[in-house]
Amino acid sequence: MTFVVTEKCIKCKYTDCVSICPVDCFYEGPNFLAINPDECIDCALCEPECPVDAIVSEDELKEEQNKFLEINAKYAKVWPNITEVKAPPKDADHWANVDEKLHLLEE
């Protein structure tokens, strides 16, 4: 199993989760983080660190969130690895409670 970064992360991109990851399986895009499912050890340490609840266990994904397993796998292969906390975007709080942000995902 793996953990999956979901739509809630788009444009928020809080990085609280990355420093706690014992296997450094997070990857950073312009406005989203991705977890490499081949590297995630299902330790669950990252999930409670996310202030917007964007990280979900693969087996707890809702049907409409299943696409994020593929999205995480795709972008983890091309984006750079991130292991340290960075400041969130200046407008992250504004986006924290916005739904349906998939169309805003930047590659």
Q: What is the pLDDT of residue 64?
A: 95
In this prediction, residues 60-68 reach a mean pLDDT of: 96
CATH entry, 3-88, from 3.20.20.120, 3.30.70.20, 1.20.1440.230, 3.40.190.10: 3.30.70.20
Residues near 77 by beta carbon (within 8 Å), at least 6 away in sequence? 36
pTM of the entire structure? 0.95
Nearest residue to 16 via CA among 50, 56, 55: 50
Q: What is the pLDDT of residue 53?
A: 96
In this prediction, residues 12-17 reach a mean pLDDT of: 96
In DSSP terms, 4 is beta-bridged to 56
